């Protein structure tokens, strides 16, 4: 185990929801920036009052993790009302794009894009959110053919349920019991990252019998925090189960799915939320994640960590117990 593995990568600010990438041989981490405030928790996530982004970087996994300062603030984005939550980033044609969720002036979560010549910013936002976008937790995946996909969606405070009819409805029914569980949504970006080519569609996650997972199957069904990686031509969708606090994964033959549930990547961490990314660094795979150890368990004051991920040749992922090293 590396010296800083499973330890808070920075301690001077609270960070969460790390999207890790290797750009030009260097590791960059795009996290949420938790605000150090005291407030009650609720199911709509009002305790997550994030206002800006700081990009972290590391020369290697053994090196110091550097906070590169303010990269983008809600004050810089014309359409944002509040709550800039978990972002991701992608490099396209020599430019770096920060893809982020935030509530608009009507308190509806949308997906925005900002661009920079540097992976650490500062980023210049587009004037408006991506038309047709909704909900939270964007994860950007570039396939081998160069096509760029956005996966996102979160239940409860993430508002995914509120779009089941095709338009926003705060009173929309939440699937329950034997009803089909909701999955993440996906859409393909245009090459200039200014629009989706078509409206987002929902992804199906199936059980071992080829049946869609049920809403009551909280140990396996999707809740939030999607991520996509690809090995040997297979696509692996990973995500958080939310209420049961697992990171799970499913396998598919297409970036659009359907995906078949395969197992757990990580057992629960300290704190309510679980949000991760998976990245290959120097021929090995790593899981970036967060917990609340830095704050002693306060769910909206989190810290980013990483650990090695063991993936077999057939794509099977060994389950991580985050505190078995202690």
Residue 324 placed within a domain:
no
Task: Decide: 109 and 136 in contact? Cβ < 8 Å.
Answer: yes
pLDDT for 72? 98
CA distance linking residue 286 with residue 118, whole number of Å: 24
What confidence score (pLDDT) does residue 19 get?
Answer: 98
DSSP 8-state secondary structure symbol assigned to residue 137: -
Flag whether 326 is in a domain.
no
Report the pLDDT averaged over residues 91-98: 98
Into how many domains does the chain fold?
1
Among 74, 137, 204, 224, which one carries the catalytic annotation? 224
Q: Which of 41-50, 282-291, 300-309 has the lowest mean pLDDT?
A: 41-50
Q: What is the pLDDT of residues 35-92, one digit of tens each?
A: 998 888 887 888 888 999 999 999 999 999 999 999 999 999 999 999 999 999 999 9
- Answer yes or no: is pLDDT of 318 > 90: yes
Question: Which residue segment(s) compose the domain that 118 sits in?
Answer: 14-309
pLDDT for 100-112, tens place per residue? 999 999 999 999 9
171 Rama class: left (phi>0) / alpha (psi -120 to 50) / beta? alpha
Question: The sheet that has 14-23: what strands, in order across it?
Answer: 14-23, 26-34, 52-58, 66-73
Give the mean model confidence (pLDDT) for residues 132-155: 98
Q: Is 256 exposed, middle or buried, given 0-12, 13-18 or 19+ CB atoms closer than 10 A?
A: middle
Residue 114 has pLDDT above 90, yes or no: yes
Structural domain contains residue 316: no
- The answer as to whether 317 is a domain residue is no
Catalytic (active site) residue 198: no
Is there a domain that residue 241 lies in? yes
Query: What is the pLDDT at residue 21?
Result: 98
Q: Does residue 2 form part of some domain? A: no
Given the residues 17, 137, 161, 251, the one annotated as active site: 17
Domain membership flag for residue 319: no
Name the percent of the chain lying above pLDDT 90: 94
Cα dihedral sign for 52, 298, 286, 111? negative
In tens, the pLDDT along 244-284 reads: 999 999 999 999 999 999 999 999 999 999 999 999 999 99
> Residue 236's domain is classified under what CATH number?
2.115.10.20
Distance CA 187, CA 190 (A): 10
**Alpha-carbon distance 247 to 318, whole Å?**
12
Q: Where are the beta strands (DSSP E) in 167-232?
A: 185-188, 201-202, 205-206, 224-231
pTM (global) more than 0.95: yes
Tens-digit pLDDT profile for residues 169-183: 999 999 999 999 999
Is 218 designated active site? no
pLDDT of residue 326: 80
Q: Does 153 sit behind a cis peptide bond, omega within 30 degrees of 0 on the bond before it?
A: no
């Amino acid at each position: 185990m590396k010296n800083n593995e499973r330890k808070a990568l920075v301690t001077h600010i609270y960070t969460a929801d790390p999207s890790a990438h290797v750009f030009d041989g260097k590791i960059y981490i795009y996290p949420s920036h938790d605000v150090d405030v005291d407030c009650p928790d609720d199911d709509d996530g009002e305790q997550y009052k994030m206002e800006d982004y700081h990009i972290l970087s590391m020369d290697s996994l053994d090196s110091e993790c550097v906070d590169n300062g303010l990269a983008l603030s809600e004050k810089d984005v014309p359409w944002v009302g509040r709550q800039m939550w978990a972002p991701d980033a992608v490099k396209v044609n020599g430019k770096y794009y920060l893809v982020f969720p935030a509530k608009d002036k009507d308190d509806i979560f949308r997906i925005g894009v900002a661009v920079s010549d540097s992976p650490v910013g500062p980023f210049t936002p587009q004037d408006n959110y991506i038309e047709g976008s909704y909900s939270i937790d964007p994860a950007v995946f570039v396939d081998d053919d160069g096509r760029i996909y956005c996966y996102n969606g979160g239940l409860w405070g993430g508002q995914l349920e509120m779009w089941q009819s095709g338009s926003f409805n705060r009173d929309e029914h939440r699937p329950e019991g034997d009803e089909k569980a909701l999955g993440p949504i996906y859409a393909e970006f245009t090459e200039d990252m200014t629009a989706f080519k078509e409206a987002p569609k929902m992804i199906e996650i199936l059980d071992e019998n080829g049946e869609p997972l049920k809403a009551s199957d909280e140990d396996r069904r999707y809740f939030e925090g999607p991520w996509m990686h690809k090995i040997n031509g297979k696509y692996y969708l990973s995500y958080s189960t939310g209420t049961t606090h697992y990171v799970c994964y499913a396998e598919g033959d297409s970036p659009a799915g359907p995906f078949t549930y395969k197992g757990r990547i990580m057992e629960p961490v300290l704190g309510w939320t679980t949000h991760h990314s998976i990245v290959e660094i120097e021929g090995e795979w790593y899981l970036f994640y967060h917990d609340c150890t830095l704050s002693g368990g306060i769910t909206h004051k989190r810290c980013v960590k990483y650990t090695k991920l063991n993936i077999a040749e057939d794509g099977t992922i060994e389950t991580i117990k985050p505190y078995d090293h202690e």
